[in-house]
Structure 1
Amino acid sequence: MTRQKTALVTGGNRGIGFEICRQLAADNIKVILAARDLQKGDKAMAKLDNPLVSCIKLDVTNDADLQSLSSKLESRELVVDILVNNAGISQGIRYSILNEPRELTAQTMDINFFGALRLSQIVVPFMQKNHFGRVVNISSGHGSFSKMDKQNPGYRFSKVAMNAMTVMLADEVKNDNILVNAMTPGWVRTRLGGLNAHRNVEEGAETAVWLCLLDDDGPNGEFFKDKATFSW
């Protein structure tokens, strides 16, 4: 009998992350909703009202939180088959490449890129032991060279780096039945995207969920929007 799969979704308490949790649980996937604020995570879990969803405190920049997750994986208290690197911020929209403060750039990189990298470095080796895994990196069109401009540099840097990580990690695990892909949800109505965005969270989450549920012969090391390949 095939074991029920478990997904870990960072930044799962709101926006696209919350919707990814909802859709995965509706597809009979156990979901670990990860939130840096446990109270907000618990409220989100209660709102989902699905017994397949649990919640953990996980700030992807916090060493203690990351070590706690590593220990739970080592002891088999938790098993992660699907990792969704969704946690992220965008706070430099009013800045250009010549004037974004270094501290702002560094903070954005720390959460959006280094958080995803460190979490992948913890989780993926356990996937390798289990000979199965799916890693989905929530990137952005702002990280594509086809869409590059001078604004919001820290956010763009972080997504370019995430895209590079996707290709490198996919190559690392290509013989381990682990598929690693990135996707852009488009401009979605969330706290990050704003109220003027033309896509809803259901549309924004759909491709991420599709990548989470890929068959073993699915794509690896690619970038998607609306389930179609997207230019790096």
Structure 2
Amino acid sequence: MDVPLHDDLGGQVALVTGANRGIGREIATNLRDLGATVYAGVRSMSNDVPEGTEQVFVDVTQEGEVSTAIDGIYSEVGRLDILVNNAGVGEFGDDIVKEPVERIDRTLATNLRGPMLVCKHAVPLLIQDGGRVVNVSSGMGALSEMGDGSPAYRVSKAGLNGLTTYLDAQYGEKGLIANSVCPGWVRTDMGSVERSSTDRASGRSPRADGEEADRPVEKGAETPTWLARFAEGAPAGKFWRDKEIIDW
């Protein structure tokens, strides 16, 4: 799709949550390579982040830590242009009757409440100069794909898509470009859950390390990185996979 893009992110500032591994780490690396100052969000300062990025402590489930992280970025560089809500958890398989309450609470807190908290504190900076929000969602959160277990994860990602449409409706006229993205079934620690419907129906047991996934991390990070480059006039309030709009 032909959309206006920033070819060079020099002078721009990005925050990527969950940036110490997997898709988040690759996105942070890509944005760094495009010239952005990248703050790599981690839940533990012992976690490694890509060379040339700024490690920032932020557990998205803790508002105090979110607020401190955003305030720290503002104090250091005075702006925020890109927010990638990538941090997430996933535990899968049960239906809602069997889904433990602890799993429901943990999943919703990280995958939905967390991005909402980050947006609550980041949006005032993002709307200063055409900021972008990229919410890393999943095809499992598409309303047309509900069912077949994993209710907490599915509902959390559907809610994240709802956050995207809210941000577009509320702040789109102020220049904010917010989009959701499904990275596909990627070979990460959580990649084993992104099975096709056929695989799930067949009862196959995926490897916990996601090695059966059909995409490398680089491919999973490609479209989120592309969305982070969107410039004024680019589409917003959409759900994407492989640089194409997909149904909610």
- Please give the residue correspondences for 1:125-136 in structure 2 after superposition, counting only pairs within 5 Å: 125-128=124-127, 130-136=128-134
Shift of 1:215: 1.6
- Please give the residue correspondences for 1:116-127 in structure 2 after superposition, counting only pairs within 5 Å: 116-127=115-126
Instruction: Give the count of matched residue pairs.
Output: 222
Residue of 12, 18, 26 corresponding to 2:25: 18
Shift of 1:74: 5.4
Q: Please tell me whether the aligned partners of residues 80 and 127 of structure 1 are also in contact (alpha carbons under 8 angstroms).
A: yes
User: Which residue of the partner structure matches residue 8 of structure 1?
Assistant: 15
3-state SS, counterpart of residue 174 of structure 1: helix
Residue of 139, 142, 166 corresponding to 2:140: 142
Aligned-residue sequence identity (percent) comes to 36
User: Which residue of the partner structure matches residue 149 of structure 2?
Assistant: 151
Name the amino acid aligned to 2:149.
Q
Name the amino acid aligned to 2:211.
L
Shift of 1:3: 6.5
Determine whether 1:192 maps to 2:199.
Answer: no
Distance 1:164 1:148 in 2: 15
3-state SS, counterpart of residue 214 of structure 2: coil
Q: Which runs of 4+ in 1 moved over 3 A?
A: 73-78
C-alpha spacing 1:66/1:120, structure 2 compared with 1 (3 Å) = same
Distance 1:7 1:167 in 2: 21
Distance 1:63 1:86 in 2: 17
Q: Please tell me whether the aligned partners of residues 184 and 215 of structure 2 are also in contact (alpha carbons under 8 angstroms).
A: yes
User: Which residue of the partner structure matches residue 65 of structure 1?
Assistant: 65
Name the amino acid aligned to 2:117.
R
3-state SS, counterpart of residue 112 of structure 2: helix
Root-mean-square deviation (CA, aligned residues, Å) is 1.5
Moved more, 70-79 or 189-198: 70-79
C-alpha spacing 1:12/1:78, structure 2 compared with 1 (3 Å) = farther
TM-score by length of 2: 0.85
Shift of 1:10: 0.1
Q: Please tell me whether the aligned partners of residues 43 and 58 of structure 2 are also in contact (alpha carbons under 8 angstroms).
A: yes
Shift of 1:97: 2.2
Name the amino acid aligned to 1:103.
E
Name the amino acid aligned to 2:36.
I
3-state SS, counterpart of residue 93 of structure 2: coil
Shift of 1:75: 3.7
C-alpha spacing 1:62/1:72, structure 2 compared with 1 (3 Å) = same
3-state SS, counterpart of residue 230 of structure 2: coil
3-state SS, counterpart of residue 221 of structure 1: coil
Distance 1:223 1:34 in 2: 24
C-alpha spacing 1:181/1:58, structure 2 compared with 1 (3 Å) = same
